[in-house]
A and B are shown apart, each in its own frame.
Chain A
Amino acid sequence: MEGKVDVAVIGAGIYGLMTAHKLLLRGVRNVAVFERLFIGSGQSSRNAGGIRAQFANGATIRFMVEAERQWKCISRELGYNILFTRDGYLFSCFSDEDEGLYALHRKIQNENGVNSVWLEPGQVAELVPGINRDGLVGANFSSQDGILHHDAVISGLMFEIRRNGGKIFEYTPVERVERGASGGFLVHTRSGVFSASYVVNAAAACAPGIASQLGTTLPIKPVRRELIATEPMRHFMKPMLVSLKYGITIHQSLRGEFIGHTSANEPENFDLRAGFGFMVQYAKDITKLLPFMKNVRIVRQWAGTYDMTPDNSPVLGPAPGMPNFINAAGSSGHGFMMSPAVGSMIADYIGTGRIDDLMKPFRLERFETGELLTELVLSNRGVL
């Protein structure tokens, strides 16, 4: 198997698939996605499907607002229902000292187009019946945020890309990338060599290995992240609930299962086995936050690999000095929500050569210049 493609995308995760999809929409027909395992085998079919714009720095918030705008249209675009519901994200606050910080977050968010508001404990308990009100001060809440079903997105993209003539090669890892003639690249895969005018590096935590072959250093490291699903219960909790105090995120799926996470010490490697320590920690934490949960049973636990950068924000855009080698990696645990905007902006860049203003702050050079996209609270309390 050999060939010539306009764009070679490495990795069939949500970044790779969205980019391929948006390229095909722009009329770039000769697109190939190379995937080491099967479509969505990375984080993209292992996440919680949370979509939010409640971040704490302007650049990220503005990007997310654009992404949320695009998510609204994806079901129609793909002809495949992705089950996007906007029931909000609720950041509960259990400490008087944090109240000021929450207010600051709201201020930045409101200035950048997010409708987040402060809720009193009574209002919080209305949205989350059964929450432990001991020490509960209130919450930040935005009804713009929501939840979607990641498997539906991945599957919809897979069908749409194939319908539009794009190629996805599964079980075809990219082993080496080298510069070819006239600014292009040679992509060596396990099943043959492809020449490509553009390469999009969307290999998540494996992206640094590919970038380094072209002399670029990506500051991305893998970290295991786990989720737990319980048996289904009658649906009663609408928003995604986040607690900084307990390090927990949890929501209730359409089918009624609670899907959640707690911050635990996880290894910085590619280990995908579930850890018992995590299961126990989750049980201890969640039964403090939502005491009724002790009468609910866990049915599944699984792990994925986060691709973390020093400022917990992705690296997006062409590599310095290599306009045709584009990185889309390092999503640091909130990449799914960004993906439609990532895909369309990278496709636009390949089509026009222009970098979208919203994407500029995410360039790799920021780690040199010090213009980091650091979050105020979330990043150092384990909730991403």
Chain B
Amino acid sequence: MNSVTFTFDGRQLSAEEGLTIAEALKSNGIRLGGRSMRLRVWRDEYHPLKEVPSAWVTVDGVANINAYRMKICSGMRIAAQTRRSLLAYIGRYSGTGFYYRNFTRSETARNFFFERVKRTNDYGGPMDPEASAASSIGELDFRPSASHSPDILIVGAGRSGLSALMACAPSAKVIVVDALPGEKVEENFKQLKLDLSSAEYAGASSFAEGSESLDSLLKSRNATLLDNTRVFGAFDGLFTAVSGYSQVHLIRPRTVILATGCEEVKPLFRRNDIPGIMTGRTLLTLPGKMASGARRAVLLIDSPVSPAYLTRISAAARPASVYLSYTPGRAGREAILSSTGIDSSALRVGVPLEAGGALRVENITVQLQGGARESVAADMIICAGRRQPRMEIASLLSLETGMGEEGMPVPEADGSMRCVEGVYACGSLLHPSPVASVASGMAAGIAAGASLSGIGAQPPAALTSLLRHEPARRMETEHDGRTVVCPCLDVTLADMRKLYSEGYDTINRMRRFSGLFMGPCQGARCYRNTFEEFMKLSGGKLDLPTVRPPLVPVYLGALALTDMEDE
């Protein structure tokens, strides 16, 4: 193996070729970014390959490069943009990860730490202002904004968004926005086509006509796909989105279909935050060698997921055993066995209770159907199927999402969501069932088209019957305090319970004083678990946390190039 030399903060270092900057630094004993205050484990252990918020470096004067994304090259001049966090050390002595709550008790303690915290705090700092101000490089390439006024805006090109597009009238001008790159949307499309050809979807398959490929679907429906683009705000009918990091889109649609889908989350169980436990989606973003390094992977499936997805997960991790937290039908069971390739004796129904291990997961205890417990060795735990709806945009629009038992929005009897004028919600935002997701997307497409022409249209009966498709029910467990609900700020169930008993008795009050929903993920990973627990504490009452724009972080540089003339 060749080695490359580079400098880091002025020190001459060398590392193997082919590593990322973060790996190269690690091989020199240098860690970027913060540690979990609770576990005293580096945060990058949790999110391999993901943007660790505090792993920003300046490379040859160019600021804001994620050290996990760029490969090391010979001669690079690298500078840290952030410093190690003192909070990581103080965290040992404090309850939750929330910074000012930690300091609210004693003034003496504050005075001792305060100045140092200010100087060393690295809660994910993106750059070193001094370095960047000093150099005239370090500029990201921001582009002027673009304006659109489509008839229909579809937010989300997953199965429901694409279903909606299929059902759109060809005369309407459509814009479809998705955060994923085009290739991934293509994959969504292929999966949807495949599903539509199966018997379960019989009532919906006719809508797929004229869409042999994603391109032909887009063309025949007069639609433009803005991929790699995220909606970050909805202001009085103006939807704002950002492409990559660099360009703002101003979209003023006549009608909107929200098909923002679900986010996969880990279920609640004791010590669910130690490294080695991840969602199926995270697993699929790991490079092959990291994933296949596991010798004993355990797969937890929380609700039915597509066989294709299971096949991909199993190819990456080769699970030794699979636990289902619901009782599948015969066909479902067969599908799981064949797509995971496991033996039927390794497939059990049960829910996780506790993970064991010091610095990495080593085993997991599961409660089986009937109450018996079983502890198995595991060096990787993959959680699939537990999903929380992506309700941010709906909340911004103040759609009344009635919250059901588990913090899922509840659709009306006819399958639609109560909406503000001209906005239709569909997909797994509303329906935990993948079948109903597709049907509700199509119903939304028909309704949106009808509202444009002013002529009412009802979805065909075959479609409405699919809307009532019910997913299997899950098994429930009791959780205890060490379970982490907010992985960004290490807030546990015990913290929530303590806060509640101290008088922080609404979600919004708890949010202010615990930091829930306010970490770098902005709530994307903690809504569902938090709501479930909160509703237990409050006896079913729940106030939704205020959602504020921007829904995704947006560079001031891109916003500064926004032309508001027409607005």
- Verify if A298 is at the interface (C-beta below 8 Å from B): yes
Cβ of A231 and Cβ of B142 under 8 Å apart? no
Which B residues from 46 to 87 make CB contacts under 8 A with A? Answer: 53, 63-64, 81-83
Cβ of B133 and Cβ of A295 under 8 Å apart? no
Q: How far is the CA of A155 from the CA of B549 in the complex (A)?
A: 25
Which residues of chain B have C-beta atoms less than 8 A from A254's C-beta?
Answer: 99-100, 114, 117-118, 121
Q: How far is the CA of A109 from the CA of B53 in the complex (A)?
A: 43
Shortest CB-to-CB span from A278 to chain B, Å, is: 10
Cβ of B121 and Cβ of A234 under 8 Å apart? yes
Q: Which of A149, A230, A255, A274 contacts B556 (CB 8 A)?
A: A230
Cβ of B556 and Cβ of A45 under 8 Å apart? no
Which B residues from 108 to 135 make CB contacts under 8 A with A? Answer: 110, 114, 117-119, 121-130, 132-133
Cβ of A38 and Cβ of B506 under 8 Å apart? yes
Q: How far is the CA of A233 from the CA of B119 in the complex (A)?
A: 11
Q: Which of B99, B121, B132, B549 contacts A292 (CB 8 A)?
A: B132
- Once A81-B110, A159-B503, A256-B121 are accepted as A-B contacts, the answer to whether A298 and B513 lie under 8 Å apart by CB is no
The stretch from A51-59, A299-307, A356-364, A370-378 touching chain B is A299-307
A-B contacts, CB under 8 A, total: 172
Cβ of B238 and Cβ of A276 under 8 Å apart? yes
- Verify if A108 is at the interface (C-beta below 8 Å from B): no
Interface size class of A (residues with CB under 8 A): 35 or more
- Verify if A338 is at the interface (C-beta below 8 Å from B): no
Cβ of A295 and Cβ of B130 under 8 Å apart? no
Task: Name the CB-closest residue of B to A277.
Answer: B564
Cβ of B107 and Cβ of A76 under 8 Å apart? yes
Q: How far is the CA of A299 from the CA of B524 in the complex (A)?
A: 13
Cβ of B104 and Cβ of A291 under 8 Å apart? no
Which A residues from 223 to 240 make CB contacts under 8 A with B? Answer: 230-237
Task: Name the CB-closest residue of B to A280.
Answer: B562
Cβ of B100 and Cβ of A292 under 8 Å apart? no
Cβ of B556 and Cβ of A233 under 8 Å apart? no
Cβ of B126 and Cβ of A83 under 8 Å apart? no
- Verify if B205 is at the interface (C-beta below 8 Å from A): no
Interface size class of B (residues with CB under 8 A): 35 or more
Cβ of A301 and Cβ of B549 under 8 Å apart? yes
Cβ of B506 and Cβ of A297 under 8 Å apart? no
Which residues of chain B have C-beta atoms less than 8 A from A81's C-beta?
Answer: 100, 103-107, 110
Q: Which of A45, A83, A233, A277 contacts B127 (CB 8 A)?
A: A233
Cβ of B559 and Cβ of A280 under 8 Å apart? yes
- Once A234-B122, A295-B557, A298-B554 are accepted as A-B contacts, the answer to whether A152 and B104 lie under 8 Å apart by CB is yes
Which residues of chain A have C-beta atoms less than 8 A from B506's C-beta?
Answer: 38
- Verify if B311 is at the interface (C-beta below 8 Å from A): no
Shortest CB-to-CB span from A222 to chain B, Å, is: 19
- Once A80-B104, A254-B99 are accepted as A-B contacts, the answer to whether A276 and B127 lie under 8 Å apart by CB is no
Q: How far is the CA of A83 from the CA of B559 in the complex (A)?
A: 32
Would you give the 0/1 interface string for A141-185, flagging 1 where the beta carbon is closer than 8 Å to chain B? 000000001011001101100100000000000000000000000
- Verify if B544 is at the interface (C-beta below 8 Å from A): no
Task: Name the CB-closest residue of A to B502.
Answer: A159
- Once A234-B125, A276-B235, A280-B562 are accepted as A-B contacts, the answer to whether A295 and B555 lie under 8 Å apart by CB is yes
Cβ of B560 and Cβ of A152 under 8 Å apart? no
Shortest CB-to-CB span from A81 to chain B, Å, is: 5
- Verify if A25 is at the interface (C-beta below 8 Å from B): no
- Verify if A294 is at the interface (C-beta below 8 Å from B): yes
Q: How far is the CA of A279 from the CA of B554 in the complex (A)?
A: 10
Interface of A is mostly: mixed
Shortest CB-to-CB span from A271 to chain B, Å, is: 10
- Verify if B478 is at the interface (C-beta below 8 Å from A): no
Which A residues from 281 to 313 make CB contacts under 8 A with B? Answer: 282-284, 286-287, 291-302
Q: How far is the CA of A149 from the CA of B104 in the complex (A)?
A: 10
- Most chain B CB neighbours (cut-off 10 Å) among A129, A162, A235, A254: A235
Shortest CB-to-CB span from B372 to chain A, Å, is: 45
Cβ of A297 and Cβ of B564 under 8 Å apart? no
Which residues of chain A have C-beta atoms less than 8 A from B83's C-beta?
Answer: 234
Cβ of B124 and Cβ of A292 under 8 Å apart? no
- Verify if A381 is at the interface (C-beta below 8 Å from B): no
Cβ of A75 and Cβ of B107 under 8 Å apart? yes
Which residues of chain A have C-beta atoms less than 8 A from B557's C-beta?
Answer: 283, 287, 294-295
- Once A75-B107, A236-B130, A273-B235 are accepted as A-B contacts, the answer to whether A296 and B513 lie under 8 Å apart by CB is no
Cβ of B104 and Cβ of A231 under 8 Å apart? no
- Verify if A130 is at the interface (C-beta below 8 Å from B): yes
Shortest CB-to-CB span from A92 to chain B, Å, is: 16
Q: How far is the CA of A151 from the CA of B564 in the complex (A)?
A: 34
Which A residues from 242 to 269 make CB contacts under 8 A with B? Answer: 254-256
Q: Which of B142, B235, B508 contacts A294 (CB 8 A)?
A: B142
Cβ of A283 and Cβ of B556 under 8 Å apart? yes
- Once A234-B82, A234-B83 are accepted as A-B contacts, the answer to whether A38 and B509 lie under 8 Å apart by CB is yes
- Most chain B CB neighbours (cut-off 10 Å) among A129, A151, A232, A237: A232
Shortest CB-to-CB span from A136 to chain B, Å, is: 14
Which residues of chain A have C-beta atoms less than 8 A from B63's C-beta?
Answer: 295
Q: How far is the CA of A159 from the CA of B105 in the complex (A)?
A: 13
Which residues of chain B have C-beta atoms less than 8 A from A298's C-beta?
Answer: 550, 553-556, 559
- Once A85-B114, A234-B82 are accepted as A-B contacts, the answer to whether A295 and B132 lie under 8 Å apart by CB is yes
Task: Name the CB-closest residue of B to A154.
Answer: B512
- Verify if A275 is at the interface (C-beta below 8 Å from B): yes
Cβ of A233 and Cβ of B513 under 8 Å apart? no
Q: How far is the CA of A293 from the CA of B233 in the complex (A)?
A: 21
Q: How far is the CA of A328 from the CA of B125 in the complex (A)?
A: 40
- Verify if B9 is at the interface (C-beta below 8 Å from A): no
Which residues of chain B have C-beta atoms less than 8 A from A295's C-beta?
Answer: 63-64, 126-127, 132, 138-140, 555-557
Cβ of A156 and Cβ of B104 under 8 Å apart? yes
Task: Name the CB-closest residue of B to A297.
Answer: B553
Cβ of A296 and Cβ of B127 under 8 Å apart? yes
Q: Which of A152, A155, A282, A300 contacts B548 (CB 8 A)?
A: A300
Shortest CB-to-CB span from B236 to chain A, Å, is: 8
- Verify if B36 is at the interface (C-beta below 8 Å from A): no
Cβ of B503 and Cβ of A292 under 8 Å apart? no
Q: How far is the CA of A295 from the CA of B556 in the complex (A)?
A: 7
Shortest CB-to-CB span from A327 to chain B, Å, is: 28
29 contacts between A and B (CB under 8 A): A39-B509, A45-B512, A75-B110, A85-B118, A149-B100, A151-B100, A231-B520, A232-B121, A232-B124, A232-B125, A233-B127, A233-B129, A234-B81, A236-B130, A254-B99, A255-B123, A273-B236, A276-B564, A277-B564, A279-B559, A280-B564, A283-B558, A284-B560, A292-B132, A294-B139, A294-B557, A298-B559, A300-B550, A302-B546
| Top 8 A-B residue pairs of the complex, sorted by shortest distance between their CB atoms | A294-B557, A283-B559, A130-B133, A297-B553, A283-B560, A233-B125, A234-B125, A276-B235
Add 15 more A-B contacts to A45-B512, A81-B103, A234-B122 (CB < 8 A). A130-B129, A130-B133, A156-B104, A158-B503, A162-B503, A233-B125, A236-B130, A254-B117, A256-B122, A275-B235, A292-B127, A292-B133, A295-B555, A296-B555, A299-B550
